[in-house]
Amino acid sequence: MTSLFAFIVAIILIVAIHEYGHYLAMRLFGVRVLTFSIGFGPQLFAWRNKAGTDFKVAALPLGGFVKPLDRRDCDVGEDEQHEEFSGKPAWQRVITYAAGPLANLLLAVVLYWLMMLGGESGRIPYLAEPVAGTAAAAAGLHADDEILSLGNHQTQNWPQVITALLDYAGERDTAPLRVKDATGEERLLQLPLADWADAQETHPMEALGLKPRPFKALVGDVGADSAAERAGLLSGDLIVSVDGKAISGWQDWVGVVQASPEIALEHLVKRDGSDVRITLIPEKIDRDGVILGLAGVRPGEDVADVRHIHYGPLSAMTMAVQRVGSQVVTMISSIGKLVTGQLSVKTLGGPLTIADAAGSTASLGWVAFAGFLAFLSISLGVINLLPVPMLDGGWIVFGVIEMIARRPLPERFLMAAQSVGLALVVCLMVLAIYNDIVRHFL
């Protein structure tokens, strides 16, 4: 339910912003707007404003539209000609078509700006020891190396590493990688990309063997009346071993606890520089039919592994604009790679993929969800600017041609082009939904 609700909220918001961009431009140029719809299908509710526009919300929140007074699909009286859309100058129609995608990009800038005002916190991109035979090992990376930059991107945390990797999707050569080892010495390496190009549906870090250095088994918040509290664990304790076996990190310890419900586990922990021995008996819980052990603690933050970045209002805006610009360039590049076959069409995602991403980011908090909304808004804006008939970009191209030729394009040509564009868009949607079905159910 979380994924479904988050998906609906995300789609409604970015579609409403997109269509409101078109609506404002139409009203600016004196065009009468008959209908402003969020979603398709049966109407759920509607209202009419003083300008005579019917605002409605429909049952299927997979898009929307703004319908102006237009002689191509309705009768226009002589006294209404000045409010009709297709009779407006070509430059006004071009601006109107561009206003929707630009509204999406503006929304992304605002969302990123708000996120930046709160600062950025993320794990420093320290590496675990690469597995032999992976691209990371072939590049000469080692445990505790910090990734300083990848390609043209500075990488101060792991999300920035992943963003930088997306520039190389589908490529088979190498990516320049600048790293710093534990002694502070910097090295410039070349990361082979062929393994990822051969497994494009795999997460790039997994395909390339880039593994983050494990979290230390550092105790954070201890739940009231939890097994950990009864055992005497305190916030700040570092778990060294369990039953004499060394603990390599947080996930290692969680695995031991979950595998030992109601079993006494002898812990050795570091507390304020001293060794302390504690006996923990994990509670038994039933999680979806699986019996697990539960200690009742949250991981502590290892300040040595986390980087906090702070911005002022102006620097936050600069970073927000740069991030949107970088993602626009990456998306355009990815679309080009799809067209040329360099990037597999299997990487396309549909509603189920979007819903999964919406739910997972919403569960992480508003900052992560806002980042997802920004990315989705950029995606909608870029896709709609593609020069494909039926999309805003196609009508922009036709408007520019009309401005150059100084005469309207034939209506028969425009209608035929719209039919071709509709067929192409439907085919891409069907392909994305098919990919979703294969990815989630087959």
Which are the catalytic amino acids?
A: 19
203 Cα distance to chain centroid: 14
Quote the CA–CA distance of 81 and 391 in Å, as a whole number: 25
Round to whole Å and give the CA distance between 284 and 312. 48
Q: Is the dihedral of CA 217, 218, 222, 225 positive or negative?
A: positive
Whole-angstrom Cα distance, residue 325 to residue 382? 11
Q: Which residues contact 427 (CB under 8 A, 6 or more apart)?
A: none
Q: Distance between CA atoms of 297 and 9, rounded to whole angstroms? A: 32
C-alpha gyration radius of the chain: 27
Contact 386, 380 (CB under 8 A): no
Find the helix or strand (DSSP H, E) in which 283 lies: strand 283-287
Nearest to 299, CA basis, from 341, 345, 237, 248 = 237
3-state secondary structure labels for all residues of 42-111: EEEEEEECCCCCEEEEEEEEEEEEEEECCCCCCCCCHHHHHHCCCCCCHHHHHHHHHHHHHHHHHHHHHH
Question: What DSSP letter does each residue of 131-154 carry, written as one string?
Answer: PTTSHHHHHT--TT-EEEEETTEE
Classified as helix, coil or strand, 215 is coil
Residue 359 contacts residue 7 (beta carbons within 8 Å): yes
